[in-house]
Amino acid sequence: MNVFLPGGLKVDLDCIPDDLEEQVQKVFSEYTEMTNPAFMYHDKLCFIDCMVEKLHGNKDSEDAVMDAMKDYLEYEVKEYGNIPDKDEYLDVGFMEHCYKLGQKSMEMYSHQFIKKQRKHDDEKIMKVLCRSIKAVMDYEWGNDGI
């Protein structure tokens, strides 16, 4: 299974490259090309956020809400045999559910990075994420050798 990081970096979870850190730093170097070194930590945290977002499937917020609505509809029909009223989607409980889904989509620790994957892939994804975060945090402007 492949996962994608910012800059189009593709990582095969079954064969994580030994030079992952160097690849991440190269992509990060390109990402920060026009950054003033005084603001490097902004870019580091933003890049890490982008990695997490990509690992969670990079879903558009409107699509995520529509998927939550579809899941709720499917659950109600299968479980109770009825179609929910639109007021059930417009209540605070459903909005709270959408808010929590948004929070989960930005968590670094997760057992739901990408839907319908094998559980052991989560551990591999977290390993890639940890190694990539360390590579970004260890990156120093001007010392990239590129």
For residue 73, what pLDDT is reported? 93
pLDDT tens digits in sequence order for the chain, 146 residues long: 889 999 999 999 999 999 999 999 999 999 998 888 888 899 999 999 999 998 888 788 899 899 999 999 999 999 999 999 888 888 899 999 999 988 888 888 877 665 555 667 888 999 999 999 999 999 987 665 44
Can you tell me the distance from the alpha carbon of 51 to that of 43, in angstroms, rounded to the nearest whole number? 12
Beta bridge partners of 3: 11
Q: Following CA atoms 23, 25, 30, 35 in sequence, which dihedral angle do they give, to the nearest 10 degrees?
A: 170
* Per-residue pLDDT, 132: 97
What pTM, to 2 d.p., does this model score?
A: 0.80
